[in-house]
Amino acid sequence: MTHVHIDPFSGVSGDMLLGAVVDAGVDVAALASGLAGLDVDGWELVLRDRRDPRVGGSKVDVVVAAGPKPHRHLADLVAIVTGGGLPDRVRDRALAAFRRLAEAEAHVHGTTVEHVHFHEVGAVDAIVDVVGVLLGFELLGATSVSCGPVPLGSGFVRCDHGLIPVPVPATVKLLEGVPTVGAAGPAPTGELVTPTGATLLRTLADDFGPPPPLRLDRVAYGLGTRDRGDIPNAVRLLLGERRDALPEAPMVEVLTTTVDDLDARLFGPLVERLLADGALDVVGRSVFGKKGRPALEIVALVPPDPATVAAVERRLFDETTTLGIRRRRERRTVLARRFRTVDTAFGPIRVKEGLRGDEVLTSQPEFDDCRAAAEAHDVPVRAVLEAAQSLARASTAPKDLE
């Protein structure tokens, strides 16, 4: 079980990742043999006699014979990949990668994925880079992949239409939802992440963030072509066996504020709006504030997403009398949850279950369903609750107790 963590500390591109998998132990000849079925001609993989004196590493280039470079569409790339005799997972990942890139380019240029013209990425070297990296991860036996924050770079690059900011629009689109950072070193740094590199990260990585606990077996570096001065132009791979003793409890931001002059009637609507803003849970509890005054402490659990935290903070400032909000980060352990429906004499009632693995630990009927059924049948809500609870317990009881 090999986990690979990608550390793009100096950016990432297709050729850098290709060099990294070779530096990690994949044989260049094995890569070339696995890619030989692709319907593109006139290329070879070349392992350069080059190392960075600070980190070592490998530089691998796709050398292409001189000649015209056709502009390909997504359908052309699909045909090349599906007819390449690749392992199933490599084929599926390559198709997903090229479609993901086509969607980003289509968004940028205001067209459809079928009409996108692949220029650089449609060239032979880029096709071999993308499929070669995916094949390389397969040959490494990578069972899971994570990736660190991606440096955006800075400055401008020139294209057919003039200067555009770094990262280029397609790269920005591909990195939506991915943790990013600025780049160390003198500004402007230029383009650190290429569209091909961003596509490969989105296709390979199961998770973005710090590396998980590993028994580290080896470290590999793939070298790029740029001179970044004091900073190696390389991407790093950390390979090893995951050593997670327990699944890591997810982080939450805990936002707390105390008010002693809030109209109590406003608390219910406030909770509804905080939940709509993205809060995971909101509670209020009675406390004593300054000068011994009775007060209300409002506590909101929020995903550690800056936009959601900002929205919840705005809501608290806008709709309460608070002058300040306290924040801290905590971990929380939660049960998996699922809904199912039980058919009672009063109609179908949804039941929310809390699970540990396949074991049901808690089972509670949805109160709103029970109240609606009670009103429809003119019976006490308690009667519907008890009926739903009885059916839920009976259907989840261990077989030897039934």
Q: How many helices (H) and strands (E) does the chain have?
A: 11, 18
- With cut-offs at 50, 70 and 90, classify the pLDDT of residue 185: low
* 302, 187: one domain: no
Q: Give residue-wise pLDDT tens across range 242-265.
A: 876 445 568 899 999 999 999 989
Domain ranges, residue 382? 336-401
49 Cβ contact list (under 8 Å, min separation 6)? none
Cα gap 87→106, rounded to integer Å: 28
* 259, 238: one domain: no
pTM above 0.85, yes or no: no
pLDDT for the residue 401 = 35
Provide the CATH number for the domain around residue 324: 3.30.70.1380
Chain-wide mean pLDDT for the chain?
Answer: 88
Query: How many distinct structural domains can be found in the chain?
Result: 3
Q: Give residue-wise pLDDT tens across range 376-394.
A: 999 999 999 999 999 988 8
Cα gap 116→239, rounded to integer Å: 36
Question: Above pLDDT 70, what percent of the chain?
Answer: 93
Cβ–Cβ < 8 Å for 145, 4:
yes
Q: The tokens of 129 are what?
A: 């880079």
Name the 3-class secondary structure at 297.
strand
* 170, 310: one domain: no
pLDDT for the residue 299 = 97
Q: Give residue-wise pLDDT tens across range 50-89.
A: 899 999 999 999 998 877 667 788 888 999 999 999 999 9
Whether pLDDT at 94 is above 90: yes
Sequence letter at residue 350? R
* 196, 291: one domain: no
* 182, 264: one domain: no
Q: Give residue-wise pLDDT tens across range 95-112.
A: 999 999 889 888 887 888
Provide the CATH number for the domain around residue 384: 3.10.20.300
Q: For residues 171 and 355, which has the higher predicted lDDT (pLDDT)? A: 171
CA angle 355, 357, 358 (to 5 degrees): 75
What average pLDDT does range 345-369 have in this prediction? 88
Whether pLDDT at 350 is above 70: yes
Domain-terminating residue out of 174, 208, 242: 242
Domain-terminating residue out of 331, 355, 383: 331
Domain-terminating residue out of 242, 273, 295: 242
DSSP 40-98: --SEEEEE-S--BTTTB-B-EEEEE-SS--PPBPHHHHHHHHHTS---HHHHHHHHHHH
pLDDT for the residue 188 = 66
* 377, 263: one domain: no
* 296, 256: one domain: yes
Cα gap 192→233, rounded to integer Å: 9
* 375, 317: one domain: no
Specify the range with the lowest mean pLDDT, choosing from 138-147, 184-193, 218-227.
184-193
* 147, 8: one domain: yes
* 233, 374: one domain: no
* 259, 391: one domain: no
* 327, 342: one domain: no
Cβ–Cβ < 8 Å for 188, 154:
yes
What average pLDDT does range 291-297 have in this prediction? 90
Cα gap 112→116, rounded to integer Å: 6
pLDDT for the residue 42 = 86
pLDDT for the residue 402 = 36
